[in-house]
Amino acid sequence: MAREPMIAVTDASPFGVYVHIPFCRSKCDYCAFATWTDRHHLATAYVDALVTEIVRAVESGMPAATSIFVGGGTPSMLLAPELTRVLAAIPVRDGAEVTVECNPDDVSVELFRAYVDAGVGRVSLGVQSMASHVLGSLGRRHDRRNVELAVDAIHAAGVPTFNLDLIYGAVGESLDDWRETVTAVVALDPPHVSAYALTIEAGTPLAAQPDRHPDDDDQADKYELVDTALVAAGLDNYEISNWARPGHECRHNLLYWRQQDYRGFGCAAHSHRSGRRWWNVRTPDRYIELVAAGEPTEAAGETLDEPTRRFERLDLQLRMRDGVPIDVLDGDELPGLVERHGDRWVLTRRGRMMANVVSLRLKT
């Protein structure tokens, strides 16, 4: 089923749409996202609610999107016609970037072709590791061969671009294990790679087991390894944890990092408009009930004052390739952590690993 013709608008301001799919087959020990393994029976009702909420937002004047990101959870657990219904409800501008997160176990050439027909031009594949014992430590179900088959399917279906998502620092992952993962990923010739240090989120099984917590020095060694390998493969670091070939940067994530506006749909989805942030109720059950009743789905929100908004803007800029203006940082007092590029201070590789320390020196 092909999507409706794209809607052309004159407003040049980027506007993003995030769609949250909360269903998973199993929950990873490190995951604190609003996801459930026992609610897939709600999928049809949930999709109905998403479409209804999106249509109401459009009727209320929501701009057409320059980017859409369908995340979760595991969006690829939805049937292709279900996801197509959701995407078809969202007006988009010419050339909009449409990304769907996928699990390597859930995909096929046929699924990706349906995505392409629905307007999807980018897939983000949750790889995490290519070492089976590390995947087991993270609570992941797939294996290396499934990743390779999924990438083959992406190419066979004609998906224009894709991302491979990695996590490093799990207990039992040696530096050689990580090197093996990075080497195998580079061999797949991805145009974009995200590599995140494993973090401890409150309330997760991982948080309750200190013996499984990552080591900072180990993660620093692994960051240097992945950065060296990806840059050598032609991928430029454009944000601390993200590398891409020119033209393959994730425009939706750039929108977040630039403090631009976006609307979130689904349970626990976040939105931002002109300094105001708000988020939906957390559970899919409650979300479905509220939409059916014609009630607002917002759970809470906040409006940022200008100093807070300015600090967040500079903190996000610091993480990116172009850095921050020279007048907001005493870069000469941070040798080895930042370097001057024209009228801006940019993090060095060592500085990227200590970005939180550098951000404390920002002048707001």
Average pLDDT of span 336-343: 97
CATH of the domain at 39: 3.20.20.70
Q: Provide the pLDDT confidence category of residue 32 given band limits of 50, 70 and 90.
A: low
All residues at 6 or more sequence positions from 26 whose CB lies less than 8 Å from its CB, including other chains? 37, 139, 141
Average pLDDT, the chain: 93
pLDDT value, residue 8: 34
Q: Which residues pair with 338 in a beta bridge?
A: 347
Identify whether residues 252 and 332 lie together within a single domain: no
Residue ending a domain, among 192, 225, 256, is 256
pLDDT value, residue 201: 79
Pairing of strands 65-72, 15-21: parallel
Residue ending a domain, among 194, 226, 256, is 256
In a domain, 290, yes or no: no
Q: Can you give the pTM of this predicted structure?
A: 0.94
Cα–Cα nearest to 154, from 127, 194, 179: 127
Percent of residues, the chain, with pLDDT higher than 70: 97
100 or 208: which leads in pLDDT: 100
Residue ending a domain, among 256, 277, 295, is 256
pLDDT value, residue 10: 40
Q: Which two tokens stand for residue 177?
A: 């294990």
| Cα 283 from chain centre | 20
Pairing of strands 65-72, 92-102: parallel
Identify whether residues 116 and 200 lie together within a single domain: yes
In a domain, 212, yes or no: yes
- One-character DSSP codes across 334-351: STTTEEEETTEEEE-HHH
Burial of 149 (0-12, 13-18, 19+ CB in 10 A): middle
In a domain, 302, yes or no: no
Distance CA 363, CA 311 (A): 8
Count of the separate structural domains present in the chain:
2
- Domain of residue 73 covers 15-256
- One-character DSSP codes across 209-266: -GGGPPPHHHHHHHHHHHHHHHHHTT-EEEETTEEE-TT-S-HHHHHHHTT-EEEEES
Query: What residue has token string 């699924």?
Result: 111
pLDDT value, residue 358: 97
Q: Which residues pair with 8 in a beta bridge?
A: none
195 or 143: which leads in pLDDT: 195
Residue 75 has pLDDT above 90, yes or no: yes
Q: Provide the pLDDT confidence category of residue 7 given band limits of 50, 70 and 90.
A: very low
Average pLDDT of span 247-275: 97
Identify whether residues 332 and 230 lie together within a single domain: no
Identify whether residues 35 and 182 lie together within a single domain: yes
Residue 230 has pLDDT above 50, yes or no: yes
Identify whether residues 203 and 317 lie together within a single domain: no
Identify whether residues 69 and 208 lie together within a single domain: yes
pLDDT value, residue 28: 74
Identify whether residues 51 and 179 lie together within a single domain: yes
Residue 27 has pLDDT above 70, yes or no: yes
Q: Which two tokens stand for residue 145?
A: 């061969």
Q: Provide the pLDDT confidence category of residue 26 given band limits of 50, 70 and 90.
A: confident
Identify whether residues 320 and 216 lie together within a single domain: no
